[in-house]
Amino acid sequence: MLLFTSSTLLARGTYQEPKDFLREVFAGSPPEPETLWLTGDVKESVTAILGHRYNALRIRYWGQDRRTAWILEEIGKDQPITTGFVVNAGKLETVRVLIFRESRGWEVRHPFFTDQFTGATLTDRQQLDHNIDGISGATLSVRALENLARLALYLHTRTPYADDPP
């Protein structure tokens, strides 16, 4: 029992502070944050992607050239998983689990899982254009990250940094 408890405690934690993620993504100098309001058709699309309402009225993001960075949260089983995303020219460039609070499913933080998202785009049906292999025992964490990846890609299209901004 002690081994299980200690491995569970090691799985939870902050792997990278959001501010450090942003510094890394923008070579030490992140731009000022911008705000995307979740109203009207944006709110409806976000709800459709996640399968539930997002519990905020606005989402902060950082943009430069054709890149946007997003720090988003989604519940795995019971607790939020904080994840950083970079979208570059409509494709996922980086996916990184920043803070993991669940007792299981922590394997989603490793590059063998997150690297699968690199280069993914969003289809017309708001799905990822390539398959993401799951992890046995981490189904809810995998689903949370897939939904957040779809969300980051969609939100990017609603910014002036997208190829075809709204």
What's the pLDDT tens digit per position in 45-85? 999 999 999 989 999 999 999 999 999 999 998 999 999 99
How many domains in the chain?
1
pLDDT digit string, tens, across residues 28-42: 999 999 999 999 999
Nearest one of 86, 116, 88 to 98, comparing CA atoms: 86
Q: Are 98 and 71 in contact (CB under 8 A)?
A: yes
Residue 66 is assigned to a structural domain of this protein: yes
Task: Tell me the C-alpha distance between 117 and 142, whole Å.
Answer: 11
What residue numbers bound the domain in which 29 lies? 2-157
Predicted TM-score of the model (pTM)? 0.91
Q: What is the mean pLDDT of residues 10-37?
A: 92
